[in-house]
Structure 1
Amino acid sequence: MRIPLSWLREFVELPDNATPHTVMAELVRVGLEEEGAHGGELRGPIVVGKVLEFVEEEQSNGKTIRWCQVEVAPGVENGIVCGARNFFAGDKVVVTLPGAALPGGFEIAARKTYGHISDGMIASSRELGLSDEHDGILRLETLGLDPEVGSDALEILGLGESAAEVNVTPDRGYCLSIRGIAREYSHASGARFTDPAALVSPLKGTGIELEVSDLTPIHNKLGCSSFHLIGVSGIDARAKTPGWMATRLKLAGMRSISIAVDITNYVMLELGQPLHAYDADKVQGGFSVRRAHQGESIETLDGKERMLHAEDLLICDHSGPIGIAGVMGGARTEVSESTTSVILEAANFDPISIARSARRHKLPSEASKRFERGVDPLVGRIAAARAAQLLVKLAGGKVDGTGADFNTEQPALQIEMQLSFPSELVGADFSAEDVVSTLSSIGCEVEANGELLTVVPPSWRPDLRHKTDLAEEVARLVGYDKIPVRLPVAPPGRGLTRRQQLRRRVLAALSGSGITEVLNYPFLSEQQNQIFTGGESVRLENPLQGEFPELRKSLLPGLIVAAQRNLSRSNLDVAIFEEGSVFLPTDSAAVAELPVGNLRPADSMLASLNASIPDQPRMIASVMLGNWLGQGPSFGAQPVSYAHAVSAVGLVAKAAGLEAELEQAKIPGFHPGRAGYVLVNGKRVGVVGELHPSVAKDFHISQAVAAFELNLDLIHELAPEVLQAGELRVMTAATQDLSLVVDSSISSAEIAKAITEGAGELLESVALVDDYRGQGIAEGKKSLTFNLVFRAQDKTLTQQEASASRDAAVALANQRHGAELRA
């Protein structure tokens, strides 16, 4: 929320030397967040000038300029060159004199141009920052102004203003208005506050037909609780918006559009009540508020045709929809330059209904932002009257007595709270006076009955629903700095769960090996989601980015994108990993009708919702490319290969107390000869290998990429309850190499398993060190060389004992797989 200080000053006393930063410092004390300061870019001297005369001179480049004589102070004339031609002798204009500065840091100085010394500049609205349109020189008479020559134009047009900007949390929608911010500043500083709503007398008109019906209840409330209409006739829709109003709107983050629209926006910012103006001559018959019918559509003010949903709340006339309630009006009844009569609407709509419509149609607006957070239900009639008064004053209109009113009686919420509750909840000592005076200052009606308080929150605070909310208000306004700092006592327990311990060990093992942990967004494109896992995907109803509409089924695409981004920034050696959830679709259909509000859904709906939730296994994955070890003085660089990914998989398995095996296979997205499944206790828990070159190329990577992805949930299930240290063997080991020739279709893991079983308890470890296919090996065969380590527990083995164990291993491998010793 942006707050022009001159506007804020109208309703709360500010110090004469107040700046955006001093105002924000006070607002931070009551829980608002500082965002920044705006405005103050213009610097004088910028004065009112009068064009005395000018001579038009045609230049050699075909352009015609005016050499003007302008009175910039009583009896003082400056010669100024101007290229605009929309002003006349006798016009009063805005003149920026040498030494002035315009938005964007544009410094004004006396300059020689077109054969003259131009002693200043006659300014347009855009150059002054009043509007985005460049329609020539700003003539002050078009704004209804006739100031004295030499007057300070910054003060007259409100151009010297500045604004503070604060972040408003969703539960404090009342702060999306000057009224709310002024009230909060008063709480923070103790300055006297004047409620702008109390300065306006509400108006009531009759004669406009209004029907509020056919509203689907949402969490026990109708979609529209109040609806007020006021007619204003005889307006001049072409009237210029006053400079002070245009400046305030601009500082508040809104551009000036037309007098009628600007007034509705101005009142919305002032009081927090969104308004809409209809061209009365375009409205056919009366008004009605209802839900959309099947197949209905509306063209909104942005010129787009929108298909409506049965839950959309509509404003209609006799011919159909003329607006999506609380979101955006329809183009058919839009106010234009030919409008002479308007009907002002001020209503109160259900926050949930408005929020859903705004998201469904992707139409966030200043109005919907306020309705979603809750609007004061009692300010609607006042806001409509305030807008009508401004139309009369600034556009020559007349309140013609027409209008309509609908209002539902809302029972006042009463909250009971013990006087001691805020102190007990917050942990600070608040006196009875602190509690009562604080609640009274925010507008609550407080009735004390001994130690029990009965509190009725004000209409503009829909966030106050429970005694904990009241306790928070006491803490906030008395001062968060009054709350003592106490370290919490750790609760008794057994520390981290087994799953948490496993996760920490695995992540520590990978990061300790030199691989960097990253965190990616879980959103992918359809093409990315099909690279490693085909089939259906979980699609988002409202994706943050249209090109990434699906939830990931694999962590690898996101890691590859992160690696490619590093390459594009000249980070050529990349080794990254990520741990997180993937989202796998279920067989159950998505639930279209979602529960809302505070009603417990039926068991059948809960069952449907639970069944539609995607499976979300936790995975861990890594991508590596470039050099694992850079070049040194006495050694060359060591490029990354799939062996490094295999080594990392071994680290993960070891951290979980498991042994991983590999099963070579053709896997989507991976190199057909350099990839395999990771097995633990015979179960597939993931994949490892080198990415297919075409996949790397699609991501603009021209080098080998090693990768793995493991299912941490499966690893957790297979991991032992307690990690036990292995037996420490102290006797001397005997090593032997064993080369076996087998069919190419047989995996090394199967041979290693047969060797382990056949060799018996003397075999300490077996490791594949070579896989050879070529000259000397028959076609369809391969030679696998294993390094065997033998060790006994109670003696030093002889080579004969080790060889006997090896021969037993060869015999079993031959029996199971036809393995033969390589000659």
Structure 2
Amino acid sequence: MPYVPLTWLADHTEVPAGTTAAALAAALVRVGLEEEAIKPPAVTGPLVVGRVLSVVREEQKNGKTISYCRVDVGPAHNDAPGEGAEPADVASRGIICGAHNFDAGDDVVVALPGAVLPGPFPIAARKTYGHVSDGMICSARELGLGQDHSGIIVLGQLLGADAVPAPGADAVALLGLGEEVLEINVTPDRGYCFAMRGVAREYSHSTGAAFTDHGLAENLPGGAVPAPTDDGFAVEVDDAGLDGAAGCDRFVTRIVRGIDPAAPSPAWMTERLTQAGMRPISLAVDVTNYVMLDLGQPLHAYDLATVHAPIVVRRATAGERLTTLDDVERRLDPEDLLITDSPRGRASRVLGLAGVMGGAETEVSPTTTDVLVEAAHFDPVSVARSARRHKLPSEAAKRFERGVDTALQAVAAQRVVDLLVEHGGGTADPAVSDLDTTTPPAPIVLDPTLPARLVGVDYPREQVLGILERIGCTVRPTAAGPTTAEDDGADDAVGTVVVTPPTWRPDLTVPADLVEEVARLSGYDAIPSVLPPAPAGRGLTPDQRRRRDVARALAEHGLVQVLSYPFVGDVHDRLGLPADDERRRVLRLVNPLAEDAPALRTSLLDSLLDVARRNVGRGAGELGVFEIGLVTRPAGVRSGPVPGVDRRPDADALAALDAAVPHQPRHLAAVLAGPLLPDGVWGGNRPVDWADAVETARVAARTVGVELAVRQGETAPWHPGRCAELVVGGEVLGHAGELHPHVTAALELPARTVAVELDLDALLAAVPGEPVQVTPVSTFPLAKEDVALVVDAAVPAEEVRAAVVAGAGELAEEVRLFDVYTGDQLGAGRRSLAFALRLRAPDRTLTAEETAAVRERIVAVAGERVGAVLRT
């Protein structure tokens, strides 16, 4: 995130005195730059200028030599009362210091007791090495001004002898350590705000403050940039690009000779770099980093002695490697864009990863005197891919991948040259190279009434065109009409205009982008919040009501509804699905949330069984959970086109998109394990079995008025002998029963866990179209009858029950199997099924003759259908 010091911002725009970081944040948020944080001052408490009066070097027993100093820290601080004050010939403080790069008479920075340095590191008076050290003489690293910890700061060397104030002066203000710094959040489409130039421009838009664009050549100290010369450092681009466009369309080189390798970076520059979260390194590197943060153009400095012309920008070849500035050797990818050269007698050498990071072989060293400055423009997509491929989110890559001003390279390179000449004592070489194949931004035809129509706020034509010009666009009329209302004297002038975005705004490509700029700079707070009128609704659809009825009925049946993620992994092997089972055909996600769950479930049990496992593992002794959700069946699906966003897709495109959407039916599934009820004073309780799974399906079917038939079936993951098919109208809608022992073991579920899954959409489609007629409650007495039928042992009990129901006819209120008997009396392969009947007529009391007739019909129908005989 970019950091914005107020003093640095003031170089580009007028910042009123007394402006705080909070006020700056409020101004920037009005134009869409959100505050991330406000960094407090790096140093708090008393930090003053001190003059060393005397230095005594004392060698300690551990071999270390320390310096005991008497330091004049000003009348307000000398000889402070309390611990630490020691007598001296003149007023001063005694301080222990481990550095030796100073002597008596030098001016230094002293942190007095009560100061807090970065870390945080509080300062207090303490006794050490036989003396009381009443403060600390500070190095650059201790103050957060850089990484140099070899010696303390000597202000005469840093600022010049004439610029050092008297002892006791506030060193916080002197070194710029008391300034708050605003950290802002920049959206990806506004990469120009990764530079002080861009933030200052937005501050000017928000407050109306005067803005000076230091990214223009006319605002340079010389008023222009030198033209390219024939003897400039040769640069070639040998790249067709990933999408037909070259990965580099501009490459500027400049040379500065005779730089003093020992020349330090100026204090104001190191201060600003530190405030921006960057580590000062050396003058040449600091200058390139500073100009990047200031203008937004990433730059790179090479040791000229190690680079050989020509520089060639090309793609990597297989097997190439590069050791980057972070001392990591990287295997390059053929899509990586490289900066290379060709030393004599050697093959092409890789100098750096274009737009991401330079190589260690040609970096600026402590002995470098001649520097080659690179300022280039690279393809954002290419840089972004390389940065992510090599996990190198460098400061340069952050800017290139968001878009860099294509007109900035020569200006930024000149700024670097000027700073190296001024602070490094170098000489600018007249040779200039500027390979430029950039294209100007594409013009956009805009109807000035579009912002009002899209945003819903009345933006006058003059306001729209004025805002576009303020952000740097050029606006000219088309043949359709004038540019402004004043051009023809009419307040309601009409006609489109041609808007050409500035080079620093590559995000402005379509009219809607310009509308966003108008709304943003006019103020989002000026857009009213108007709720559209809510049309009268029709409530829930019949299927929605039925689904809710099913969920409520299952909850009342004792089950708990859950929601599970539809993403699954290799669960089908654990469920024992055959290799040719259609449920193994899954739709894989391009970017899954988890590597171990890359596919969409084809069955609710794929994810619901894992929910059951988690609950059992956490101590749920009585388990009953159900879920209603979508499953994905991708059979027959083919990939569809990706239509553009500039217009509504036509009917053929919509049809192709529909064909690419997989079938997603809504299923119902439930899992039960353990006892139906916990044990209590009423005694033990039976465990759930396959019949409870079947009854769960019947509860759902009865709730929506559908008659559900049950017959024996066999499919994974159920036990082959304890699985029932759930049938409606001859179509199998699902299965219920006991899970296979291998499945329960693989999923760590209790033995004999039961489950049910059915197609809820198909079940609801079978609901009768005509409204269900309510049967009046009969007030006549109930007649009970028991029938025991002997059938072949292979005949399913459900078929016998269906025959009993058919024989009983309309008089049967309930038919329930209550006993199964096998024995020698019945013969081998035979069993007796006893059914309890509840009979009632709506208009009369049934006589004994009528109940006997019902019994006879049942025996006759059962004998005809399943070969049953009455047990005697």
- With normalisation by structure 1, the TM-score equals 0.77
Alignment of 1:529-548 (within 5 A): 530-532=573-575
Contact 2:190 2:507 in 1 (8 A): yes
In structure 2, the residue matched to 1:484 is 528
Alignment of 1:417-456 (within 5 A): 417-448=446-477, 449=482, 450-452=493-495, 453-456=497-500
Q: How far, CA to CA, are the matches of 2:823 and 2:416 in structure 1?
A: 89
Structure 1 residue 427, shift from structure 2 partner: 1.7
Query: CA distance change for structure 1 residues 185 and 643 in 2, over 3 Å: closer, same or farther?
Result: farther
Q: How far, CA to CA, are the matches of 2:156 and 2:625 in structure 1?
A: 64
Q: Describe the SS at the equivalent of 2:68.
A: strand
Q: Say which is worse superposed, 774-783 or 266-275, in terms of deviation.
A: 774-783
In structure 2, the residue matched to 1:190 is 208
Query: CA distance change for structure 1 residues 339 and 485 in 2, over 3 Å: closer, same or farther?
Result: same
Alignment of 1:72-471 (within 5 A): 73-74=73-74, 76=78, 77-81=92-96, 84=98, 89=103, 94-103=109-118, 106-112=121-127, 116-123=131-138, 127-130=142-145, 135=149, 138-140=152-154, 144-145=158-159, 147-148=164-165, 149-198=167-216, 199-200=219-220, 201-202=224-225, 206-216=231-241, 218=243, 221-235=245-259, 245=269, 248-249=272-273, 251-255=275-279, 260-293=284-317, 298=322, 300-301=324-325, 303-309=328-334, 311-318=335-342, 319=348, 321-330=350-359, 332-337=361-366, 339-393=368-422, 397-448=426-477, 449=482, 450-452=493-495, 453-471=497-515
Contact 2:12 2:214 in 1 (8 A): yes
In structure 1, the residue matched to 2:3 is 3
Contact 1:275 1:344 in 2 (8 A): yes
Q: How far, CA to CA, are the matches of 1:306 and 1:227 in structure 2?
A: 25
Query: CA distance change for structure 1 residues 725 and 74 in 2, over 3 Å: closer, same or farther?
Result: same
Q: Describe the SS at the equivalent of 2:3.
A: strand
Which residue identity lines up with residue 451 of structure 1 in the other structure? V
Alignment of 1:568-607 (within 5 A): none
In structure 1, the residue matched to 2:581 is none
Q: Say which is worse superposed, 87-96 or 624-633, in terms of deviation.
A: 624-633
Contact 1:791 1:797 in 2 (8 A): yes
In structure 2, runs of 5+ residues without a counterpart are 79-91, 343-347, 483-492, 578-583
Which residue identity lines up with residue 456 of structure 2 in the other structure? G
Structure 1 residue 678, shift from structure 2 partner: 6.2
Which residue identity lines up with residue 471 of structure 1 in the other structure? V
List per-residue Cα deviations over 1:482-515 (Å, max 9, x = no partner).
2233332457997777777777777777789884
Q: Describe the SS at the equivalent of 1:373.
A: coil
Contact 1:664 1:747 in 2 (8 A): yes
Query: CA distance change for structure 1 residues 613 and 490 in 2, over 3 Å: closer, same or farther?
Result: closer
Structure 1 residue 435, shift from structure 2 partner: 1.7
Q: How far, CA to CA, are the matches of 1:337 and 1:157 in structure 2?
A: 26
Structure 1 residue 458, shift from structure 2 partner: 1.7
Q: Tell me which structure has the larger Cα radius of gyration.
A: 2
Contact 1:586 1:612 in 2 (8 A): no
Query: CA distance change for structure 1 residues 74 and 566 in 2, over 3 Å: closer, same or farther?
Result: farther
Q: Say which is worse superposed, 622-631 or 552-561, in terms of deviation.
A: 622-631
Structure 1 residue 581, shift from structure 2 partner: 5.8
List per-residue Cα deviations over 1:206-250 (Å, max 9, x = no partner).
5322222441463x7543332323334455677666665555445
Structure 1 residue 141, shift from structure 2 partner: 6.9
Structure 1 residue 795, shift from structure 2 partner: 5.0
Query: CA distance change for structure 1 residues 557 and 338 in 2, over 3 Å: closer, same or farther?
Result: farther
Which residue identity lines up with residue 447 of structure 1 in the other structure? R
Q: How far, CA to CA, are the matches of 1:338 and 1:12 in structure 2?
A: 38
Q: How far, CA to CA, are the matches of 2:22 and 2:594 in structure 1?
A: 35
Query: CA distance change for structure 1 residues 69 and 426 in 2, over 3 Å: closer, same or farther?
Result: same
Query: CA distance change for structure 1 residues 795 and 562 in 2, over 3 Å: closer, same or farther?
Result: same
Contact 2:73 2:93 in 1 (8 A): no
Q: How far, CA to CA, are the matches of 1:672 and 1:238 in structure 2?
A: 85
* % identical aligned pairs: 45
Q: How far, CA to CA, are the matches of 1:398 and 1:768 in structure 2?
A: 106
Contact 1:277 1:343 in 2 (8 A): yes
In structure 1, runs of 5+ residues without a counterpart are none
Q: Describe the SS at the equivalent of 2:401.
A: helix
Equivalent residue pairs, number: 812
Which residue identity lines up with residue 315 of structure 1 in the other structure? I
Contact 1:667 1:676 in 2 (8 A): no
Contact 1:235 1:341 in 2 (8 A): yes
Structure 1 residue 109, shift from structure 2 partner: 2.9
Query: CA distance change for structure 1 residues 194 and 583 in 2, over 3 Å: closer, same or farther?
Result: farther
Which residue identity lines up with residue 184 of structure 1 in the other structure? E
List per-residue Cα deviations over 1:621-657 (Å, max 9, x = no partner).
6778999999999999999999998777667656766
Which residue identity lines up with residue 28 of structure 1 in the other structure? V
Q: Describe the SS at the equivalent of 2:340.
A: strand
Structure 1 residue 418, shift from structure 2 partner: 3.3
Structure 1 residue 272, shift from structure 2 partner: 2.6
Query: CA distance change for structure 1 residues 722 and 322 in 2, over 3 Å: closer, same or farther?
Result: farther
Q: How far, CA to CA, are the matches of 1:573 and 1:381 in structure 2?
A: 75
Query: CA distance change for structure 1 residues 585 and 783 in 2, over 3 Å: closer, same or farther?
Result: farther
Alignment of 1:454-533 (within 5 A): 454-490=498-534, 515=560, 518=563, 520=565, 527=570, 530-532=573-575
Query: CA distance change for structure 1 residues 644 and 364 in 2, over 3 Å: closer, same or farther?
Result: farther
Which residue identity lines up with residue 330 of structure 2 in the other structure? E
Matched, 1:12 2:13: yes
